[in-house]
Amino acid sequence: AQSVAQPEDQVNVAEGNPLTVKCTYSVSGNPYLFWYVQYPNRGLQFLLKYITGDNLVKGSYGFEAEFNKSQTSFHLKKPSALVSDSALYFCAGPLRVGNTPLVFGKGTRLSVIA
């Protein structure tokens, strides 16, 4: 079974600075990994996914994520943070290969300060 972990509950960053939200995974075989974002009082929205191929994955709203097999990480990044990026971010992966649900990390709250 696959699991994901988000080591930080909260990340604070100044507007215009680069941001990183961390995720590590544990899986046997090739992982499928996802990032989702939740704005206040809303459901989650898909940001990006890694299935196979390039280790740098580009997604919505200028976000990208870097898959690193040796460090078993899939960190979410953005070169220049906006105040509107403030939200709750979730890393996720399927429970196992096949048609199975996603398991989510506990979430990281990102605050971008003007």
Site string for another protein, 23-42 (x = CB under 8 A): ---------x-x-x----xx
| Binding residue for another protein, selected from 15, 24, 27, 44, defined by CB under 8 A | 44
Kindly report each contact of residues 9-13 with a partner whose C-beta sits within 8 Å and lies 24 or more positions away, as own/partner. Answer: 9/106, 9/107, 9/108, 9/109, 10/108, 10/109, 10/111, 11/108, 11/109, 11/110, 11/111, 12/110, 12/111, 12/112, 12/113, 13/81, 13/110, 13/111, 13/112, 13/113
Nearer to another protein, 29 or 43 (CB): 43
Size of the site for another protein (CB under 8 A): 25
Provide, rounded to whole angstroms, the least separation between the CB of residue 73 and another protein.
18
Site string for another protein, 90-109 (x = CB under 8 A): x-x-x--xxxxxxxxxxx--
What residues are paired with 87 via a beta bridge? 110
Nearer to another protein, 3 or 80 (CB): 3
Residue 10 in the binding site for another protein (CB under 8 A): no
Nearest-angstrom CA–CA distance, 105 and 22:
10
Contact residues for another protein, defined by CB under 8 A: 9, 32, 34, 36, 41-46, 49, 90, 92, 94, 97-107
